[in-house]
Amino acid sequence: MCKTLRVLNAVRNYEIGVPLSIQQYKLLTAPVLIGRLINAHQHLLALRISDYTGLSPEVVIMHWACAKITASPAIHDAALLEMLLDKLKLCKGISYAAVASQADKSGRRKLAAMLVEHEPRSSKQVPLLLSIGEEDTALMKATESESTAGVFWNDTGKTSGSGSIHHICADVALLLWKESWELGKNPMASRGSPLHGPRIKLIEKTHSLFAETKEHTFESKAAEEHARLLR
Protein backbone atom coordinates (compact mmCIF):
# COMPACT_ATOMS: atom_id res chain seq x y z
CA MET A 1 0.00 0.00 0.00
CA CYS A 2 2.88 2.37 0.81
CA LYS A 3 4.31 1.94 -2.70
CA THR A 4 0.90 2.49 -4.26
CA LEU A 5 0.39 5.75 -2.36
CA ARG A 6 3.82 7.04 -3.37
CA VAL A 7 3.12 6.28 -7.03
CA LEU A 8 -0.28 7.98 -6.83
CA ASN A 9 1.18 11.05 -5.12
CA ALA A 10 3.77 11.32 -7.88
CA VAL A 11 1.26 11.20 -10.74
CA ARG A 12 -1.23 13.47 -8.94
CA ASN A 13 1.36 16.25 -8.90
CA TYR A 14 0.07 19.31 -10.75
CA GLU A 15 2.88 19.01 -13.32
CA ILE A 16 1.69 15.52 -14.26
CA GLY A 17 -2.04 15.87 -13.64
CA VAL A 18 -3.23 12.25 -13.36
CA PRO A 19 -5.72 12.21 -10.43
CA LEU A 20 -6.03 8.45 -9.94
CA SER A 21 -7.73 6.80 -6.98
CA ILE A 22 -6.31 3.62 -5.41
CA GLN A 23 -9.05 1.52 -7.03
CA GLN A 24 -8.48 3.11 -10.44
CA TYR A 25 -4.74 2.45 -10.16
CA LYS A 26 -5.33 -1.21 -9.30
CA LEU A 27 -7.63 -1.61 -12.31
CA LEU A 28 -5.28 0.32 -14.59
CA THR A 29 -2.09 -1.47 -13.39
CA ALA A 30 1.41 -0.03 -13.24
CA PRO A 31 2.48 -1.07 -16.78
CA VAL A 32 -0.51 0.72 -18.33
CA LEU A 33 0.13 3.83 -16.22
CA ILE A 34 3.76 3.82 -17.35
CA GLY A 35 2.59 3.50 -20.95
CA ARG A 36 0.39 6.58 -20.55
CA LEU A 37 3.22 8.52 -18.96
CA ILE A 38 5.66 7.81 -21.79
CA ASN A 39 3.02 8.75 -24.36
CA ALA A 40 2.80 12.08 -22.51
CA HIS A 41 6.63 12.27 -22.69
CA GLN A 42 6.98 11.98 -18.92
CA HIS A 43 9.87 9.58 -19.34
CA LEU A 44 11.76 10.44 -16.16
CA LEU A 45 8.77 9.77 -13.91
CA ALA A 46 7.91 6.64 -15.89
CA LEU A 47 11.48 5.40 -15.40
CA ARG A 48 11.36 6.08 -11.67
CA ILE A 49 8.03 4.27 -11.29
CA SER A 50 9.37 1.32 -13.30
CA ASP A 51 12.35 1.08 -10.98
CA TYR A 52 10.23 1.57 -7.86
CA THR A 53 7.70 -1.10 -8.82
CA GLY A 54 10.31 -3.58 -10.08
CA LEU A 55 9.34 -3.37 -13.76
CA SER A 56 11.81 -3.47 -16.65
CA PRO A 57 12.82 0.01 -17.86
CA GLU A 58 13.15 -1.22 -21.47
CA VAL A 59 9.82 0.14 -22.72
CA VAL A 60 10.50 3.57 -21.20
CA ILE A 61 14.08 3.85 -22.47
CA MET A 62 13.13 2.60 -25.94
CA HIS A 63 10.31 5.14 -26.25
CA TRP A 64 12.56 7.92 -24.96
CA ALA A 65 15.31 7.06 -27.45
CA CYS A 66 12.95 7.02 -30.43
CA ALA A 67 11.32 10.28 -29.30
CA LYS A 68 14.75 11.87 -28.80
CA ILE A 69 15.76 11.03 -32.36
CA THR A 70 12.55 12.47 -33.79
CA ALA A 71 12.83 15.66 -31.73
CA SER A 72 16.55 16.31 -32.36
CA PRO A 73 17.07 17.07 -36.07
CA ALA A 74 19.62 19.80 -35.25
CA ILE A 75 21.86 17.67 -33.03
CA HIS A 76 24.91 16.18 -34.76
CA ASP A 77 24.90 12.39 -35.18
CA ALA A 78 27.94 11.81 -32.95
CA ALA A 79 26.56 13.97 -30.13
CA LEU A 80 23.11 12.38 -30.34
CA LEU A 81 24.64 8.90 -30.40
CA GLU A 82 26.48 9.65 -27.15
CA MET A 83 23.23 10.81 -25.51
CA LEU A 84 21.38 7.72 -26.67
CA LEU A 85 24.07 5.26 -25.61
CA ASP A 86 24.25 6.85 -22.18
CA LYS A 87 20.64 5.81 -21.57
CA LEU A 88 20.41 2.64 -23.65
CA LYS A 89 23.25 1.01 -21.72
CA LEU A 90 21.07 1.19 -18.59
CA CYS A 91 18.95 -1.66 -19.92
CA LYS A 92 20.70 -4.94 -20.62
CA GLY A 93 19.40 -6.70 -23.72
CA ILE A 94 17.67 -3.65 -25.19
CA SER A 95 17.31 -3.67 -28.98
CA TYR A 96 19.75 -1.18 -30.49
CA ALA A 97 18.53 -2.32 -33.90
CA ALA A 98 15.00 -1.09 -33.12
CA VAL A 99 16.33 2.35 -32.20
CA ALA A 100 18.53 2.32 -35.31
CA SER A 101 15.43 1.55 -37.38
CA GLN A 102 13.75 4.66 -35.96
CA ALA A 103 16.82 6.71 -36.88
CA ASP A 104 16.59 5.38 -40.44
CA LYS A 105 12.88 6.25 -40.63
CA SER A 106 13.79 9.77 -39.50
CA GLY A 107 16.19 10.10 -42.42
CA ARG A 108 19.35 9.70 -40.32
CA ARG A 109 21.06 6.73 -41.93
CA LYS A 110 24.49 7.59 -40.60
CA LEU A 111 23.13 7.57 -37.05
CA ALA A 112 21.30 4.31 -37.80
CA ALA A 113 24.56 2.70 -38.97
CA MET A 114 26.35 3.93 -35.84
CA LEU A 115 23.62 2.56 -33.56
CA VAL A 116 23.41 -0.84 -35.21
CA GLU A 117 27.11 -1.35 -34.51
CA HIS A 118 26.15 -1.69 -30.84
CA GLU A 119 23.55 -4.40 -31.53
CA PRO A 120 25.12 -7.70 -30.37
CA ARG A 121 22.77 -9.95 -32.37
CA SER A 122 23.72 -10.54 -36.01
CA SER A 123 20.16 -11.64 -36.75
CA LYS A 124 19.09 -8.06 -35.99
CA GLN A 125 22.09 -6.31 -37.54
CA VAL A 126 22.17 -7.82 -41.02
CA PRO A 127 18.61 -7.05 -42.25
CA LEU A 128 18.83 -3.45 -41.02
CA LEU A 129 22.26 -2.91 -42.58
CA LEU A 130 20.87 -4.16 -45.88
CA SER A 131 17.87 -1.84 -45.65
CA ILE A 132 20.05 1.26 -45.09
CA GLY A 133 22.39 0.45 -47.96
CA GLU A 134 25.33 -0.83 -45.91
CA GLU A 135 25.78 -3.98 -48.01
CA ASP A 136 29.52 -4.39 -47.39
CA THR A 137 29.10 -4.16 -43.62
CA ALA A 138 26.11 -6.53 -43.78
CA LEU A 139 28.25 -9.02 -45.68
CA MET A 140 31.00 -8.90 -43.07
CA LYS A 141 28.53 -9.22 -40.18
CA ALA A 142 26.79 -12.15 -41.85
CA THR A 143 29.98 -14.07 -42.49
CA GLU A 144 31.31 -13.31 -38.99
CA SER A 145 28.22 -14.98 -37.56
CA GLU A 146 28.57 -18.60 -36.48
CA SER A 147 25.53 -19.43 -38.58
CA THR A 148 25.02 -17.15 -41.56
CA ALA A 149 22.14 -19.32 -42.74
CA GLY A 150 20.47 -18.85 -39.36
CA VAL A 151 20.85 -15.08 -39.60
CA PHE A 152 18.93 -14.92 -42.85
CA TRP A 153 16.49 -17.70 -41.98
CA ASN A 154 15.44 -16.20 -38.64
CA ASP A 155 14.50 -12.89 -40.20
CA THR A 156 13.05 -13.97 -43.53
CA GLY A 157 11.86 -17.52 -42.96
CA LYS A 158 8.93 -16.90 -40.64
CA THR A 159 6.70 -18.62 -43.18
CA SER A 160 7.53 -21.85 -44.93
CA GLY A 161 7.73 -22.32 -48.67
CA SER A 162 9.61 -20.88 -51.60
CA GLY A 163 8.70 -17.27 -50.72
CA SER A 164 11.09 -17.20 -47.78
CA ILE A 165 13.83 -18.89 -49.84
CA HIS A 166 13.48 -16.27 -52.58
CA HIS A 167 13.69 -13.49 -49.99
CA ILE A 168 16.87 -14.94 -48.54
CA CYS A 169 18.44 -15.34 -51.96
CA ALA A 170 17.47 -11.80 -52.90
CA ASP A 171 19.49 -10.51 -49.94
CA VAL A 172 22.46 -12.69 -50.86
CA ALA A 173 22.18 -11.72 -54.52
CA LEU A 174 22.30 -8.04 -53.54
CA LEU A 175 25.58 -8.59 -51.72
CA LEU A 176 27.07 -10.64 -54.53
CA TRP A 177 26.01 -8.07 -57.13
CA LYS A 178 27.79 -5.34 -55.17
CA GLU A 179 31.00 -7.35 -54.99
CA SER A 180 30.78 -8.42 -58.63
CA TRP A 181 30.45 -4.79 -59.63
CA GLU A 182 33.58 -3.92 -57.65
CA LEU A 183 35.49 -6.85 -59.14
CA GLY A 184 34.32 -5.91 -62.61
CA LYS A 185 36.48 -2.79 -62.44
CA ASN A 186 39.56 -4.99 -62.05
CA PRO A 187 38.90 -8.59 -63.17
CA MET A 188 42.51 -9.62 -62.52
CA ALA A 189 42.07 -8.88 -58.81
CA SER A 190 39.17 -11.26 -58.39
CA ARG A 191 40.94 -13.81 -56.22
CA GLY A 192 42.70 -11.15 -54.18
CA SER A 193 39.48 -9.38 -53.26
CA PRO A 194 38.91 -9.16 -49.48
CA LEU A 195 35.33 -10.24 -50.19
CA HIS A 196 36.32 -13.31 -52.19
CA GLY A 197 36.22 -15.65 -49.18
CA PRO A 198 32.95 -14.28 -47.78
CA ARG A 199 31.47 -14.50 -51.27
CA ILE A 200 32.16 -18.23 -51.42
CA LYS A 201 30.74 -18.70 -47.92
CA LEU A 202 27.51 -16.97 -48.86
CA ILE A 203 27.14 -19.04 -52.02
CA GLU A 204 27.68 -22.18 -49.94
CA LYS A 205 24.98 -21.02 -47.53
CA THR A 206 22.68 -20.36 -50.48
CA HIS A 207 23.31 -23.93 -51.62
CA SER A 208 22.40 -25.30 -48.18
CA LEU A 209 19.23 -23.20 -48.06
CA PHE A 210 18.11 -24.33 -51.51
CA ALA A 211 18.77 -27.92 -50.40
CA GLU A 212 16.06 -27.46 -47.73
CA THR A 213 13.31 -27.69 -50.36
CA LYS A 214 12.65 -30.24 -53.10
CA GLU A 215 11.57 -27.53 -55.54
CA HIS A 216 15.04 -25.97 -55.68
CA THR A 217 17.22 -28.96 -56.54
CA PHE A 218 18.57 -27.30 -59.69
CA GLU A 219 19.38 -24.05 -57.89
CA SER A 220 21.06 -25.95 -55.07
CA LYS A 221 23.34 -27.82 -57.47
CA ALA A 222 24.08 -24.63 -59.42
CA ALA A 223 25.12 -22.80 -56.23
CA GLU A 224 27.27 -25.75 -55.18
CA GLU A 225 29.03 -25.78 -58.56
CA HIS A 226 29.46 -22.00 -58.48
CA ALA A 227 31.20 -22.17 -55.09
CA ARG A 228 33.42 -25.03 -56.29
CA LEU A 229 34.53 -23.07 -59.36
CA LEU A 230 35.41 -20.01 -57.27
CA ARG A 231 37.71 -21.92 -54.90
Inter-residue long-range contacts of 85-92, CB under 8 Å, 24+ positions, other chains counted: 85/118, 87/61, 88/61, 88/118, 90/57, 90/61, 91/56, 91/57, 91/58, 91/61
pLDDT at 96: 93
Task: Say which residue, 107 or 138, is predicted with more confidence.
Answer: 107
pLDDT at 154: 46
Work out the burial of residue 192: count CB atoms within 10 Å of its CB; fewer than 13 is exposed, 13-18 middle, 19 or more buried.
Answer: exposed
Work out the burial of residue 206: count CB atoms within 10 Å of its CB; fewer than 13 is exposed, 13-18 middle, 19 or more buried.
Answer: buried
Threshold 0.75, pTM exceeds: no
Task: Say which residue, 174 or 130, is predicted with more confidence.
Answer: 130
Q: pLDDT tens, 187-197?
A: 443 565 555 66
Q: How far is CA 69 from the centre of its chain?
A: 16
Q: pLDDT tens, 144-174?
A: 654 444 444 444 444 444 445 455 555 555 5
Share of the chain above pLDDT 90, in %: 38
For the chain, give every domain's residue range.
121-230
**Any idea which of 74-78, 102-106, 125-129 has the lowest mean pLDDT?**
125-129
Q: Are 154 and 123 in contact (CB under 8 A)?
A: yes
Per-residue pLDDT band for 54 (boundaries 50, 70, 90) equals: very high
Say if residue 181's pLDDT is above 90: no
pLDDT at 204: 74
pLDDT at 57: 94
| Single-letter amino acid code for the residue at 90 | L
Say if residue 217's pLDDT is above 90: no
